């Protein structure tokens, strides 16, 4: 856990800062400055870009993580692996352009009057897809080197800083909305350029002059993994975006805008999952290569309990402060109150799964990961198709919760049957009980007139009570170590 711990701490610090900036952007400024339709436009653009670019990566990001150990040789420029990545990414982009024009024709023919704004800016998808494909590929290459920090810095931190600057330019009427959209696209393109310069700076952007030679058996394995990963990664991003896309199809951009703001607040539950997931993939791939099932089991258990414990704390914090959230947001967002709760629970299910996605996707049973993803997306589409016309944004949240629950259960059962991996114990029940106790104790606190003082005081009390109980019951060694470090730091100051 040494490498994962160090990388996840660095990544988490960046993500925490990025979340604060993101909160200023998405939670405070966007709802005040942009209308729901404009917010919906920004989110639906990114949703389509995410889907098309994942297909454009041709499943190669998983292949990079899984097979880099077989190419690794710094003196030989890692046997031309980066050159291969660059070529495959460009081919993927060319295919993506063709897909875009097919989708564009369909979207325009089937679009509603509520989505006219989207069609005005649909052409911006192409440049964003190009830069996103290359960012995904080079970020995976960095992660294969057990370094997830540059990708997090550019994608999570850099983009939000730029967006903050650009939305302020719009707020002070230095630019119009069209100018802001163009700059928003520029901000989301910058991570690819940034990560490429990082590779150059650290002398990793080297192709070598020799022809790329791959043994037939390894080539077959790489092609097989890539083909299945195309489906699984494509399915994965569809699942992230399907609710917003179907909302746009059924209800228009305004509902997408409201839902996206609710999704932002709920996504805080998964605050620690991303840095851990980004670095754990490369470590798990190495464990599988060495056939070290014991280490994989240990990693599975540790990530599951730590992510779940932190996720429960954040969800309690959000729901206990939900009255403050809707003091900040304009009145039209009030309909999303329980959407935040349901989406928060769906994120908590992800946290509960630990590193199970990477464990399955990087194992010899990676094909089943693809099959499960297809099953997952079918459930998501069907549930959204049924529920959105009836319940609107609430239906999208219910659909997300149902599909994630089914997917997580199936994946957990499969890992237990095939590898006898099962990370769950009585500790997880203790976390749930501690969570309920903490939440009900927070309900005893009265609501203060000053919402900022109320938020800080309420959040502080919740955190202290929750962590104290988690510490007493020794749910997580890692959390206890961190609490001990804090105590050792504080003690000398009170002598």
Of 218, 368, 370, 363, nearest in space to 293 by CA: 363
**CA-derived radius of gyration, the chain:** 23
| Average pLDDT value for the chain | 85
Of 157, 152, 144, nearest in space to 187 by CA: 157
Per cent of the chain over pLDDT 70 is 88
Of 128, 267, 147, nearest in space to 193 by CA: 128
**Residue 274 pLDDT class (50, 70, 90 cuts):** low
Both structure tokens of 336: 């999303």
**Residue 473 pLDDT class (50, 70, 90 cuts):** very high
Q: Which of 13-27, 251-265, 376-390 has the weakest average pLDDT?
A: 13-27
Position 7 scores a pLDDT of 53
Percentage helix, strand, coil, to 5, in the chain? 85, 0, 15
- 108 pLDDT higher than 80: no
Measured CA to CA in angstroms, residue 121 lies from 42, 138, 413 at distances of: 10, 27, 44
Both structure tokens of 388: 């959105």
pLDDT tens digit sequence for 198-224: 888 777 666 665 666 777 887 888 888
Position 311 scores a pLDDT of 93
Where do we find the tokens 């960046």?
Answer: 14
CB atoms within 10 A of CB 425: 12
Q: Using alpha carbons only, what angle is made at residue 266 by residues 187 and 15, rounded to the nearest 5 degrees?
A: 45
More confident residue, 341 or 227: 341
Reported as type and span, the H/E element at residue 244 is helix 216-251
**Burial per residue of 238-275, b for 16 or more beta-carbon CB atoms within 10 angstroms, e otherwise:** bbebbbbbbbbbbbbbbbbbbbbbbbbbbbbbbbbbbb
- 1 pLDDT higher than 50: no
More confident residue, 14 or 211: 14
More confident residue, 348 or 149: 348
- 303 pLDDT higher than 70: yes
What's 34's DSSP letter? S
Position 9 scores a pLDDT of 62
Average pLDDT of the residues in 175-179: 95
Q: How far apart are CA 74 and CA 81, in angstroms?
A: 11
- 346 pLDDT higher than 70: yes
Alpha carbon 234 to its chain centroid, in Å, reads: 14
**Burial per residue of 278-298, b for 16 or more beta-carbon CB atoms within 10 angstroms, e otherwise:** bbbbbbbbbbbeeeeeeebbe
Position 167 scores a pLDDT of 95
Position 392 scores a pLDDT of 92
Of 343, 355, 358, 362, nearest in space to 304 by CA: 355
């Amino acid at each position: 856990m040494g490498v994962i711990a160090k990388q996840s701490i660095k990544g988490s610090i960046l993500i925490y800062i990025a979340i604060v900036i993101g909160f200023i952007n998405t939670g405070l400024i966007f709802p005040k400055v942009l209308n729901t339709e404009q917010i919906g436009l920004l989110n639906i653009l990114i949703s389509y870009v995410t889907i098309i670019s994942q297909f454009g990566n041709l499943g190669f990001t998983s292949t990079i993580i899984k097979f880099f150990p077989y190419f690794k040789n710094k003196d030989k420029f890692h046997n031309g692996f980066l050159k291969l990545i660059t070529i495959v990414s460009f081919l993927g982009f060319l295919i993506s352009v063709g897909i875009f024009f097919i989708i564009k024709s369909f979207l325009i023919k089937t679009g509603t009057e509520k989505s006219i704004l989207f069609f005005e800016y649909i052409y911006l998808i192409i440049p964003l897809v190009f830069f996103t494909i290359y960012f995904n590929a080079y970020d995976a290459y960095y992660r294969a080197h057990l370094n997830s920090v540059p990708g997090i810095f550019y994608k999570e931190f850099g983009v939000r800083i730029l967006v903050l600057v650009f939305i302020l330019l719009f707020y002070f009427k230095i630019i119009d909305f069209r100018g802001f959209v163009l700059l928003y696209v520029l901000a989301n393109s910058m991570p690819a350029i940034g990560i490429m310069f990082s590779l150059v700076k650290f002398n990793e952007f080297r192709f070598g002059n020799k022809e790329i030679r791959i043994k037939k058996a390894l080539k077959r394995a790489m092609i097989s993994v890539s083909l299945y990963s195309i489906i699984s990664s494509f399915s994965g991003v569809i699942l992230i975006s399907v609710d917003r896309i179907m909302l746009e199809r059924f209800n228009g951009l305004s509902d997408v805008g409201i839902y996206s703001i609710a999704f932002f607040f709920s996504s805080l539950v998964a605050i620690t999952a991303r840095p851990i997931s980004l670095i754990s993939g490369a470590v798990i791939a190495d464990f599988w290569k060495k056939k070290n099932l014991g280490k994989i089991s240990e990693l599975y258990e540790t990530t599951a309990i730590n992510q779940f414990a932190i996720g429960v704390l954040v969800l309690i914090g959000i729901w206990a402060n939900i009255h403050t959230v809707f003091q900040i947001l304009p009145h039209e967002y009030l309909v999303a109150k329980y959407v935040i709760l349901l989406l928060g629970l769906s994120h908590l299910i992800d946290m509960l799964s630990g590193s199970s996605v990477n464990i399955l996707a990087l194992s010899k049973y990676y094909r089943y990961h693809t099959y499960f993803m297809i099953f997952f997306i079918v459930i998501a589409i069907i549930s959204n198709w049924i529920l959105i016309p009836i319940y609107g944004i609430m239906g999208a949240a219910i659909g997300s919760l149902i599909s994630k629950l089914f997917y997580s259960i199936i994946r957990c059962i499969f890992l237990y049957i095939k590898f006898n991996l099962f990370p769950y114990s009585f500790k997880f029940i203790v976390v749930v009980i501690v969570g309920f106790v903490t939440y009900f104790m927070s309900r005893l606190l009265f609501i203060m007139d000053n919402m900022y003082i109320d938020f800080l005081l309420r959040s502080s009390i919740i955190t202290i009570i929750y962590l104290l109980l988690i510490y007493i019951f020794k749910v997580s060694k890692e959390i206890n170590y961190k609490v001990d470090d804090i105590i050792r730091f504080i003690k000398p100051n009170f002598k």
